[in-house]
Amino acid sequence: MTDSSKNELERALHYPLADRLPPLGGAIEIRPGLKWLRMPMPFSLDHINLWLLRDCVEGREGWALIDCCVDIPEARAAWERIWAHELDGLPILRILVTHMHPDHVGLAHWLCQRWSVPGFDCRLWMSAADYSSARHANEAVESEIGEDMANHFASHGMTDPDALRQIRERRFYYRDLVPDVPHACARLMDGLDMPLGGNHWRCIAGYGHAPEHIALHDVARGLLIAGDMVLPRISTHVGVYETEPEGDPLTLFLTSLERYRTLSADTLVLPAHGKPFTGLHTRLDQLHAHYQERLAGVLTAARTKPVSAWDILPLLFQRKLDQHQTIFAVAEVVAHLNHLWHAGQLTRAQGGDGIWRYVAV
């Protein structure tokens, strides 16, 4: 997609705060008792949005936090400034995490420990599937992680020895960003009503991007803390990895998006990346069109000859990618191929070189 196309899509949405952004270590109040924070990240996607909600737990007044950022010194320093200037002298009472990816759960262990006091635990709240996945990723045997991932990507056409070596060295990737995960949590699940700060937020489970992503919807005030499920400028990452190589996460994701179709058209969407926006239904239409266009391109390419994910990569990602981005991009291509394979539009076979190739039926 060209920059002009992206700009055209963005113009179809409305950004109520225009170009205002929270300062590092500061906040913008979105509604009474709801603050928007923005934390730095060391990736091309260089920020994450976090949300503070006024809360009351067991008679204690304070704040609930939605998502945490990766565990890096810059984020810890920003949190120290927020504690000093944005909490109105009140504690953080609980941490709600939308899903298990490092930018969302990375600092949960530190924050829960910091705000727990004798007789009261600052508890992590998270879906069961994502909590278990985070614990597994944090505790997995490091020697196996990189090798399994490298073998997976090699089977989809990534054969460059240097690229595979770099993947093998990523065995510390998750633990570097998420050094620990709290050893207990409270469970978030689909349909759960969460009273936060005198308002009621309904949990909406979504699939495909993460095992059991939880978004939060305040029906009365028309607010959606969307996590990574609905982003305004970029499409959500949906990829196939070595842990579920035959999976079809794209079907799960597209089906999950339809659950937001029932929300009011004027809902204010609070995404994990990008700026708060309205135009939810328009954005859902844009995302579906984006994926259908991509799938059509993959299917057309697979009609001419058997293709691997590596063959399709330049078709779906025409910009220059660094190694970090390439891993995510190949995983996304496999998700598109597996989607069409599960739909019966492609067949696949593994050649003598160990590479999976797909061809149109």
Give me the pLDDT at residue 248, please: 98
How many domains does the chain divide into?
1
Are 202 and 193 in contact by the 8 Å Cβ rule? The answer is yes
Give me the pLDDT at residue 5, please: 58
User: What's the per-residue H, E or C state across 317-329?
Assistant: CCCCCCHHHHHHH
In-domain check, residue 315: no
112, burial (CB in 10 Å: exposed 0-12, middle 13-18, buried 19+): buried
Are 336 and 315 in contact by the 8 Å Cβ rule? The answer is no
Give me the pLDDT at residue 142, please: 61
What's the rounded Cα separation, in Å, for the pair 178 and 133? 12
| CB crowding 39-72: b at 16 or more within 10 Å, else e | bbbeeeeebbbbbbbbbebeeeebbbbbbbbbbb
- How far is the CA of 161 from the CAs of 151, 154, 164, 167, 199, in angstroms? 12, 10, 5, 10, 54
In-domain check, residue 132: yes
Give me the pLDDT at residue 322, please: 84
What lies within 8 Å, CB to CB, of 97 at 6+ separation is: 66, 67, 68, 104, 105, 108, 124, 125, 126, 130
Q: What is the pLDDT of residues 150-209, one digit of tens each?
A: 999 999 999 999 889 888 887 778 899 999 999 999 999 999 999 998 899 999 999 999
In-domain check, residue 268: yes
pTM, rounded to two decimals: 0.95
What is the token pair recorded at 107?
């600092």
What lies within 8 Å, CB to CB, of 203 at 6+ separation is: 188, 189, 190, 191, 192, 193, 194, 214, 215, 216
Give me the pLDDT at residue 168, please: 86
Strand 268-271 with 223-227, pairing = parallel
Give me the pLDDT at residue 86, please: 96
pLDDT tens, the chain, 361 aa long: 555 556 677 889 999 999 999 998 999 999 999 999 999 998 888 999 999 999 999 999 999 999 999 999 999 999 999 999 999 999 999 999 999 999 999 999 999 999 999 999 999 999 999 999 999 999 876 656 788 899 999 999 999 998 898 888 877 788 999 999 999 999 999 999 999 988 999 999 999 999 999 999 999 999 999 999 999 999 999 999 999 999 999 999 999 999 999 999 999 999 999 999 999 999 999 999 999 999 999 999 999 999 999 999 999 998 888 888 899 999 999 999 999 999 999 999 999 999 999 999 9
Give me the pLDDT at residue 52, please: 98
In-domain check, residue 311: no
Tell which residue, 89, 68, 88, has the closest CA to residue 78. 68
Whole-number CA gyration radius for the chain: 21
Range of the domain at 111: 14-279
Q: What is the pLDDT of residues 197-252, one digit of tens each?
A: 889 999 999 999 999 999 999 999 999 999 999 999 999 999 999 999 999 999 99
In-domain check, residue 89: yes
Give me the pLDDT at residue 18, please: 96
In-domain check, residue 103: yes
The β-bridge partners of 356 are 350
In-domain check, residue 273: yes
In-domain check, residue 325: no
Q: What is the CATH number of the domain that holds 176?
A: 3.60.15.10
| CB crowding 171-203: b at 16 or more within 10 Å, else e | bebbbebbebbbeebeebeeebebebbebebeb
Tell which residue, 254, 269, 236, 252, has the closest CA to residue 104. 236
Q: Within a 13 Å sphere around the CA of 255, how many CA atoms are in the beta-carbon half?
A: 9
